Chain A
Amino acid sequence: MSLLKVEGLTTAFKTSRGEITAIEDVSFTLGEREILGIVGESGSGKSVTALTIMGLLPNPPARVASGEVRFDGKVLTRLSDTRMQKVRGSGIAMVFQEPMTSLNPVFTIGEQLMETLRAHERLSPRAQRERAVEILTRVGIPSAAQRLGDYPHQLSGGQRQRVMIAIALSCRPRLLIADEPTTALDVTIQAQILDLLMDLRDEFGMAIMIITHNMGVIAQTADRVLVMYAGRIVEEAPIEALFERPTHPYTRGLLECVPSLDQDRARLAAIPGTLPDPARRPRGCRYAPRCALRIEACTTAIPPLLGIEAEHAAACIRAIPA
């Protein structure tokens, strides 16, 4: 049985230009210990998907217009705020892109870590301290006992992200959602954090949902991948299949437009055009205006996700099965 099951999820926002759907009809599952990558560019809906699962979007302006999120048998989209609070932390934890703004600048990292421990578990102050040191050490903070009294500004960006991961891990969640966890970090630190996440999965047996715009981060970590574009899933595949047999023209474009260290290209295969404005999305396939394979039928109806091979589906009427 899957740990997380998202079905037909549509999240809408009230804006001055009317109601806009940030994600539409998003369905997927996530198994125990699985690392699911969600890749997409700005406006793809990848972060809104995560925040909807976490119940962290304020209503209004946001609302779940349809669909449901099922985690460990419970329908999260129907839980009260108090009960959802219990799920956050011990069931699902989240790590954000900007570790500076996610930490409270006026409390020490020890206080922030122990606050989370207290909220979910009854522990003596001494046991809290010991657990905090143990977790910080595990995520790679050197001389952790001495660092408990440090304030966030005294840490480097990479260390702050480690502290965020420590806080997320402190209640032993079964699912960790990491939203662009390495985007603000330098490349050598990014490599350390990605390695850490993979080690933690192996060690604690939790599932991880990693959200990124970077195909390299996906290639480095994910077992299975969802590709999102303009609020919809356009392709879903196991990691090898996605890189070996990318099917949606957008996925192929994404893989080809970035230069790689392994090969030299005289020219990059750029995707023409720009990402659609969420308030003025094109009719039919959202990618059609930028797609080289576009035919008239592409602009009349939104293509459904169709299976190509086992566990591999693409939302494209021009997709040629492998």
Chain B
Amino acid sequence: MTPLVDAVALEKHFASGEGALLARRAGRLRAVDGVSLRIAHGETLGLVGESGCGKSTLGRLLIRLTEPSAGAIFFEGEEITRLSTKALREKRRAMQIIFQDPYGALNPRMSVEDIIMEPLLIHGAKRDAPTRQKVSEMLDLVGLPKHARDRFPHEFSGGQRQRIGIARALVLRPKLVVCDEPVSALDVSVQAQIVNLLQDLQSELRLTYLFIAHDLSVVKHISNRVAVMYLGKLVEIAEKRELYRKPLHPYTQALIAAVPVAHPANRASARAGRVRLPGDVPSALHPPTGCRFHTRCPHAMAICRAEEPKIAEPVAGHHVACHLIGPS
């Protein structure tokens, strides 16, 4: 079956210092560097990695909110990389995004009704009774009270604002929703409500999610498969149980080991077993040669410094880019 999304060798380069007052030297930041992945209909693909790894840029590329520098994106088998603005707008009905910051993502001067209705109006609907009815349905669907429609974003808590953002993203009944850190800004007790809501909506509306987050526990909970990025590269992708139980890439292993323990009884063993990654993530402007992880990798060999590892599939469905594994 054709995947919903098929991204081939996607790249996004930013000219560094572009427009900045203090541009130090011109360089190209390869935020996403040759990433290929597929997302199946109805699945949730989790995307994890630390800040600056390119996960948000990748999410935006897939729905062409950001233009790729190279590579191709197929949506339901149709290449969308070269679609005209007009044709792309039509496609956008099927691909939407939910942002991290429920404070910054909503126009403070618009009522909740206007916020949720806006995508419909952009796509040709009129401000009439049926359109208003659709807003009511959305409010209901995301668990907001009817009287919310005439109020403004500042009157709501973070969790409720995120519900408004979800309602706006889903009102066009998209197929793919990019969830970019949708719960990271929320209080812990509210996070679970939103995670549950996203899961309910997925089964009710048969949605496909790309769920971008830095919290590995939340990603494990919500995803079917999980992809790991490091400095613009996809380093590993697998079914979630497989990935968390048998992570093959040393970076994935370190990420999982760094998650704080769930119970104090595991404290000592977690600390003893932790692969301590030395140093920080190198600058994406001057990424290391060969495998980008080699400067922090406890298993780095000569080849890792010289040659970039290719993606191998040592276990069916489990892809990893590491010289320790597969054909080198």
Contacts and interface: CB of A to CB of B under 8 A. Distances in A.
B259 A261 contact: yes
Contacts of B193: 270-272
Q: What is the interface of chain B mostly: helix, strand, loop, or mixed?
A: helix
B194 to A, nearest CB: 9
Interface stretch (A4-12, A78-86, A116-124, A190-198): A190-198
B217 A261 contact: yes
A134 interface: no
A50 to B, nearest CB: 18
A240 B192 CA distance: 24
Nearest to B260: A216
Given A159-B280, A261-B220, A267-B196, A219 B188 contact: no
A214 interface: yes
A268 B218 CA distance: 10
Given A219-B267, A265-B221, A268-B196, A188 B258 contact: yes
A42 B262 contact: no
Contacts of B280: 156, 158-159, 189
A277 to B, nearest CB: 9
A182 to B, nearest CB: 9
Given A189-B280, A216-B262, A217-B260, A257 B160 contact: no
Given A41-B187, A192-B276, A261-B217, A186 B281 contact: yes
A65 to B, nearest CB: 26
Given A156-B280, A261-B244, A188 B260 contact: no
A219 B263 contact: yes
A254 B190 CA distance: 10
B16 interface: no
A187 B220 contact: no
Interface in B182-226: 187-193, 195-196, 199, 214, 216-218, 220-221
Contact of A268 (B195, B257, B264, B279): B195
A220 B191 contact: no
Interface in B235-268: 244, 254-267
A275 B51 CA distance: 29
Interface residues of A, number: 46
A146 interface: no
Contacts of B244: 261
Contacts of A239: 264
B274 interface: yes
Contacts of B218: 259
B157 A274 contact: yes
A23 to B, nearest CB: 18
Interface string A248-267: 00000110011111101101
A257 B192 contact: yes
B260 A257 contact: no
Contacts of A204: none
Interface of B: 50-51, 157, 159-160, 187-193, 195-196, 199, 214, 216-218, 220-221, 244, 254-267, 270-271, 274, 276-277, 279-281
10 contacts: A188-B50, A189-B50, A191-B257, A192-B276, A240-B265, A270-B196, A271-B189, A274-B190, A275-B189, A290-B189
Given A222-B264, A239-B264, A274-B157, 14 more contacts: A42-B187, A188-B255, A190-B258, A192-B277, A195-B274, A213-B187, A217-B260, A220-B267, A253-B189, A260-B262, A261-B216, A262-B263, A268-B195, A270-B193
